[in-house]
A and B are shown apart, each in its own frame.
Chain A
Amino acid sequence: MIAGFGTINGHVGGIQCQVAGSSGLLPAPQVTAQATAELGIHSNLCLHFQGQRYVANAAPTSGAVGGVTVSAVSSLPTAPQMPLPQAPAVPPPQPMMATATAAPKPGQGGFRKVCRTEEASPCPFPGLAPGVLHMRVKEGSKIRNLMGFAMARMQGPSGATAVEVGRGGAFGGGTGTPGSSAGLRQVVFCGSGRAVTKTITCAEIMKRKLGGLHQLTKLCYKGVREVWESQDAGGSGGGGGGEVTVHRTVPSVSILLSKDPLDPREPGYQPPETLTSLWAEREEQSPPAHTAAAKRAMLEPHAPHSSQPSAKRLCVGAGVPLRCPAD
C-alpha cells in the first residue's frame, strides 16, 4: 500500500501531500514512537520495493523517490540514503497513515496494532521477465492512486507524458528516458488480508479499461507478523513492556495481467474477455440450471412484494441471452 501510495502521491496528489506533511511532520514532533516505528518499517518496505522496480525499469520518477526518501530520513536515520533530486518539493505522504494507525482503536481489548510486517515469500510467478510492474495493494491504498499509476505505466509514453504535463513537473525528467517504448507489457497486482478484494478490483478495472489482457491468478498464504501494544503502557513512551507479537497467516492473491499470451494450461489462467464466456461455459456444463431458472420463472407471479417480480425478471432475463450461445 505504502509503496503504491507513496509513489503516486509523489506526483499525483499534490494537495494530499501538503496536508499530510503539515499534520504529520512539521508542527508535530510529538508524533509518537508508534508512528516512528510504523514509518520505519514501511519505509524499509518502500525502499526495497522501489529499488527493485527502479532497477528493473530504469525509468524512475524523481518525485516519487524524493517523497519516499524524505520520510525515511525523517523517521529512521539508518535508512539507506538515496539521491534527493526534489526532496523539499515533495512532502512525505506517510505521516498521515502513521498518525491514523497510531490513533487508539476502540473495541480491541486494550491493544492496538503498532506495526505489521509481511514475510517475504517467493514470487508466485516463476520465470517472470524483469521489468514487470509490481503493485503491492494494501488495505489503505486508494484505488485511484493505484490505477492512476499503473494505467500510466501500462499505456506507455503517451499516457505518461499526459500525466507529466497535467501534473506540472512533479515527474521530473525521469519519464523521458527511452526505456519504455510502448508501455509495460505486464503488471502484477498482489495483496493480502483485507486488501484481497481491492487487489481483484484493481485487476478487474484494468482488464476492463485496457482490454485484451491475459490473466493468471494465484492464491497462497502469507505470513504476517503484527506487533500489538497494550494501551496501558502509556503510549508515547515507545517500546514499553506490553508488547505482543502475533504471527498470522492470511490469504493473499497475486494477479498477473499481461498483454502477451500466457500459458493456458497453467491453473488460474484466464484468457481475455472471459466476462461472459465464463458464465456461458458454466451454463453449458450445468443443465440443471435451466430447470431451476424455469421453476423460478414459474414461481414469479406469486411473489408477495411489488418489486420482487422485477428483480426476478431481471435475473431471468439476464440468464437467457447467456444461455443462448450454449444451446
Chain B
Amino acid sequence: MAEPRSPAPVPPNPASLSSEGPMAVEMDPVEYTLRKRLPRKLPKRRNDVYVNMKTDFKAQLARCQKLLDGGGAGGHREICIHGLGLAINRAINIALQLQASSQGALQLAANTSTVELVDDLEPEDPDGEAGEPITRTRNNSAIHIKVFYPAPQSS
C-alpha cells in the first residue's frame, strides 16, 4: 500500500537483460525497464482484506480469522477478501479454510471482476535522449469473496 509501484521491476538492470534476451536487443535498440504500477485499491474498510502472494499464508489466514472472531471489540459479521491474478487462488483458499474451520457457520459469496493494470516502460538510456516512456494497459482477473455469517431468516 505504501509503495508506489511493484518492488520487482522486470528486468532490474540492463546487463541481465542483454545477457538473457538478445532478441529484445535486435528488435529494439532502446531497452526499457518494465515497471508495474500498483493496482488501484478502492475500498479499504476495516473488514477488507487484500490477499497477496508475498505475505505468509498462515498470517493472512490468521488475520482474517481474527477479524471474524473479533479481539474483544466484537468481530465483524462479514469480511471481504480480495485477490488479484495469482492471488485469486490464495484468496479462495483462505475463504474456504475460514468456512471449514467455522463448521459451516460461515457462507461465501464470490464475485469476479476485471482490473485494469498499467505498466510503464521507461527507456534504459543513460543519455536520456532516445525514446519516450510508454504506458501499456492490460487486464487481470480479480475475485472478491464476501465471507459472512448468514443473517437470521426473520429479516
List A residues at the B interface (Cβ < 8 Å): 193-194, 196-197, 200-201, 203-204, 208, 215, 217-221, 251, 253, 255, 267-270, 274-275, 278-279, 282-283, 285-286, 288-289, 292, 303, 305, 307-308, 311-312, 314-315, 318-319, 322
Contact = CB atoms under 8 A, between A and B. Distances in A.
A314 B89 CA distance: 28
B77 interface: no
A286 B118 CA distance: 25
A217 B141 CA distance: 14
Contacts of B80: 282
B42 A314 contact: no
Interface stretch (B16-24, B66-74, B104-112): B104-112
B37 interface: yes
A201 B143 CA distance: 10
B92 interface: yes
Given A200-B112, A204-B114, A219 B95 contact: yes
B42 A319 contact: yes
Contacts of A208: 114
Contacts of B107: 267
Contact of B108 (A267, A314, A318): A267
Given A219-B96, A268-B111, A315 B40 contact: yes
A312 B4 contact: yes
Contacts of B118: 311, 314
A274 B42 contact: no
B40 A251 contact: no
Contacts of A196: 88-89, 92
Nearest to B87: A197
Contact of A253 (B42, B110, B114): B110
Given A201-B141, A289-B44, A319-B40, A267 B109 contact: yes
Interface string B108-127: 11111110001010100000
B112 A311 contact: no
Contacts, number: 107
Residue with the highest number of chain B CB atoms closer than 10 Å, among A215, A251, A275? A251
A221 B96 contact: yes
B111 A278 contact: yes
A315 B39 CA distance: 8
Interface of B: 4-5, 35, 37-38, 40, 42-45, 48, 80, 85-86, 88-89, 92-93, 95-96, 100, 107-114, 118, 120, 122, 133, 139, 141-146
Nearest to B135: A310
Given A282-B42, A289-B42, 14 more contacts: A196-B88, A219-B96, A251-B92, A251-B96, A253-B110, A268-B111, A269-B109, A270-B112, A285-B45, A307-B120, A308-B5, A311-B38, A312-B4, A319-B42
Contacts of A311: 4-5, 37-38, 118
B47 to A, nearest CB: 9
Contact of A307 (B42, B95, B108, B133): B133
Q: Which 3 A-B pairs have the closest CB atoms?
A: A267-B109, A282-B43, A217-B110
Contacts of A282: 42-43, 80
7 contacts: A197-B88, A219-B95, A267-B107, A270-B111, A275-B113, A283-B43, A289-B44
Given A196-B92, A197-B88, A197-B141, A218 B43 contact: no
Contacts of B146: 267
Contacts of B38: 311
Given A196-B92, A282-B42, A307-B35, A275 B114 contact: yes
